[in-house]
Structure 1
Amino acid sequence: MWFRILLFAFLGFVFGGPFGAVIGALIAAWLSSQQPRIVYGAGQSGERRRQTQTAFFRATFLVMGKLAKADGRVNEEEIQVATTLMNEMRLSPDQRQQAIDLFNQGKTPGCDIRGVLLEFRRAAGSGSLIQMFMELQLQAAYADGQLSQAEMQVLHEACEYLGVNRFTFEILHQRFQAQRAFYSRYNGGGYQQQGNYGYRQPVDNRSKLKEAYATLGVSPDASDKDVKRAYRKLMSEHHPDKLVAKGLPEEMMEMAKKKTQEIQAAYDLIQEERKRK
């Protein structure tokens, strides 16, 4: 805005002297005031947003069910991920039953996820909502600590219907793995949990810092400017209000908030380390 005002004021001065500069500045200010303001709630109309929220909800639990059954047996960890998600969303009894029904439907042999994902894609468009969806599915796929080939096939199938190419998925996957390592293995003040007896051993701070960089999707030798750009991009993509405005179910807002807290933690660690140098 200020650049435009100064530019118009300068041009006005060139062609009309001091009076022209004033007129130019006033015109620039008026033009800026006419531009549509960007507000988080302006992503979609109320009805369209509700449709997107419904599509997101249905796709989330249906695909989670298919992932859980992909390698043959639904284990306790996979059920716990879906249950935790339902708890964090604070679903009403009716919504919770819908989620359970969708999850069970996804577990049925030969369940076709194409229709529900194409519906979600049409409602969501592209970008941050679909990215958030894939992050949730990766979380479900890694519930038992590893990603099987059968689960990978389901994720690739989901990407195909959602218009996510393999290269984009691999970047998302790698960043998810880094985030998972940073916030799971290195949780608890720089110590790593071992076994079932509560034994903890120190974690190499260099490894922790490496995971923090990977969380932001930048290399350790990236410039301060590039680190900040990556951080701001991720924070913008996961901003709870922006995601809800685009159609993220409001019940999932807490999950989006946690995601931004995780991104913030990685950025803060990098900044602290760079200040020491």
Structure 2
Amino acid sequence: MWGKVLGFMFGFMFGKWAGAILGLYIGHRFDRSMSQDFSNQGGFSKFFMNKDSFANQAVFFHAVFSVYGHIAKASGQVTPQEIAAASGLMDKMGLAGDKRKEAQAAFSEGKSNDFPLEQTLTSFKKSAFGQRDILQLFLEVQLQAAFADGELHPKERQILHVVAKHLGFSSRDLDRLLQQLDAQMKFHRQRASSSQSGPSIKDAYDILGVNADADDNTVKKAWRKQMAQHHPDKLAAKGLPPEMLEIANQKAQDIQAAYEKIKAQRK
């Protein structure tokens, strides 16, 4: 509104009625542009919402499990491993009672042929106020769904590209996250096993997203960036639901362990 008012005033001052009309038009375009930009940032809600309770947590949980189910069904049939992975995610998030039933219902909904994937992603992105770290954690959870049966089906990859693009991630970003997740899953399994060799140094570098010949400063910067993206306290401050913090905490622990292994190997 103020763009039109000021445009009209200044236009009239410098060009009388012709200038006022031109100023009114320019002001209108300015107002429209600002409105769209502010809407994309979440408007005033971004500043006044209660960060301790993630805006529309129902939207968040529905998106997590419905998209999870949609990816699981992409190959044609949901495997027992994928069902077990979904159940394991619910366990990790501490979902019980009605919350668990809602998550299971969302998972089943995602398996339907007419599941509105893009509409679901749009609602989720809006409820997350476009915060990239939250969106990335969501995408990483979906990547785990795709890897649940030990392989990435071409149709699963196709859906992941749709999810990534809708959330603002490029194909290159997705490939990088896939590589990091593959390394992190192997790294985590090896840490949990009784193997004397432990996690491989290659997986440690892949988790941080750097080459083995990177200098110490580059490695440290990569570690700091990864920790900033996955640190539970920082994500909680951005509004991540408490149920998701354990997932972020596990990722942060693996990132820290990978960095410590690299430092020990370089001594």
Q: Does 1:108 align with 2:100?
A: no
Q: Does 1:146 align with 2:151?
A: yes
In 1, Cα distance between the equivalents of 2:49 and 2:101?
A: 28
In 2, Cα distance between the equivalents of 1:267 and 1:72?
A: 39
1:43–1:242 Cα contact (<8 Å) kept? no
CA RMSD of aligned residues (A): 2.1
Alignment length (residue pairs): 221
In 1, Cα distance between the equivalents of 2:237 and 2:56?
A: 10
> Which amino acid in the other structure matches residue 60 of structure 1?
V
In 2, Cα distance between the equivalents of 1:143 and 1:55?
A: 24
Aligned to 1:133: 138
Q: CA deviation at 1:134?
A: 0.9
Q: CA deviation at 1:119?
A: 1.1
Q: CA deviation at 1:53?
A: 3.2
1:215-247 CA distance string (max 9 Å, x none): 111111111111111111111110112212223
Unpaired runs of 5+ residues, structure 1, are 1-41, 192-202
Which one of 95, 98, 111 corresponds to residue 99 of structure 2?
Answer: 95
Equivalent position SS for 2:162:
helix
> Which amino acid in the other structure matches residue 68 of structure 1?
A
In 2, Cα distance between the equivalents of 1:216 and 1:235?
A: 10
> Which amino acid in the other structure matches residue 146 of structure 2?
A
2:52–2:237 Cα contact (<8 Å) kept? no
> Which amino acid in the other structure matches residue 49 of structure 2?
S
The sequence identity of aligned pairs, in percent, is 42
1:117–1:161 Cα contact (<8 Å) kept? yes
Which one of 228, 234, 252 corresponds to residue 236 of structure 1?
Answer: 228
Query: Normalized against structure 1, the TM-score is what?
Result: 0.74
Q: CA deviation at 1:47?
A: 6.8
* Matched ranges for 1:104-253 at <5 A: 104-124=108-128, 125-184=130-189, 187-190=192-195, 208-253=200-245
> Which amino acid in the other structure matches residue 169 of structure 2?
V
Query: Normalized against structure 2, the TM-score is what?
Result: 0.77
1:54–1:249 Cα contact (<8 Å) kept? no
Stretch deviating more after TM superposition (177-186 or 114-123):
177-186
Unpaired runs of 5+ residues, structure 2, are 1-45
1:117–1:158 Cα contact (<8 Å) kept? yes
1:189-223 CA distance string (max 9 Å, x none): 545xxxxxxxxxxx5x7x81111111111111111
Q: CA deviation at 1:143?
A: 0.6
Q: CA deviation at 1:101?
A: 0.6
> Which amino acid in the other structure matches residue 151 of structure 1?
E
2:183–2:204 Cα contact (<8 Å) kept? yes
Bigger relative contact order, structure 1 or 2 (CA pairs below 8 A, ≥6 apart): 1
In 1, Cα distance between the equivalents of 2:141 and 2:108?
A: 17
1:98-125 CA distance string (max 9 Å, x none): 1011000001123111111101112221
